[in-house]
Structure 1
């Protein structure tokens, strides 16, 4: 339509499309903001509405962009999610000692029996009592474990003095050897347990094939020892 040589363009038919376009742009802003908050990239803040240019010859359809941005956000969230932590792996693997051999040495008063109780896997069975007495005498159980891997051990033992010798003193010890001949001390405990049995569990590390579990009379007593169980774990580190 022409009035006084001026051209008047009626754009009322574009109103609905402009409204849709503006809504899509708003959705685009929201989607970009979500992505900005989700991934470590530098996206600008959108504090003002994005102007819509309708002077071009073609109408730009932005209605699908919000959905596309949502998909992109989901993909990025998946990619940025750290993988689950691996399941923890135990540094100790139980080993069987049922094939280990057990012998005894130097028990001056009473030799212990039922030696297999040390390696039968039953923590409630025990050897009979072994006894040493006088002049720093010492006796022991010797276990040939069959290998020399780095291992963690626990030994459950009973300690006491002979009846009537409650004030006596003894040492209970663990020793280890590579060749079964030369032994070095791993740990020892000097105590006065009285005539009532004291059951204790000792733990230690050793990389030796042979172990000794023993006791020594260190002062006016008759020292007793029996062993319930020896358990082992291989170190995997």
Structure 2
């Protein structure tokens, strides 16, 4: 049973979502503020955090940033608007996905399960890209022999790029493969995740040599070294 931490300051929404997600088969702990979430998430040890953006005091962005300093567990943001700066800031803070309020529990449940599937094992294969080693069987990525800590979404993204090495994948293809939805308006999910991934795997993220941008298309991981 997946364990969730739901962070929402509105008591009515928090109770309704907790009940709905419990009925969907999740174990749900709650927090009413960013401070409470930061104080308790390590003891709760959730598989995933559902995090409201607009929290009093420490907001959802800051909660996300602080958790990302030490943890790679998945985070889904709850945001009031899909087309404003909140989404971009949230993704740059390290969130894996977002859902727009008012939240439909079935949609949220589907997004949660999609994120959690990203850590599942892939086909048995090891590929080397310069100093980067991608082991799809062990679901690990290392650089010069040192493991790289990746969120489940970052890990799934590099696995899909590796599986299609040498092939340019569009943002819409990556949305389907990694996030399991393909609304093109969500392409910022891809761009933000690529940016975070480059920061971890590239020597000079601003001048990537591994994950290339294919102008007008999307992204490509160059073929593995022979």
Question: Would you tell me which structure has more helix in proportion to its own residues?
Answer: 2
TM superposition score normalised by structure 1: 0.20
Question: Would you tell me which structure has more strand in proportion to its own residues?
Answer: 1
Structure showing greater radius of gyration is 1
TM superposition score normalised by structure 2: 0.21
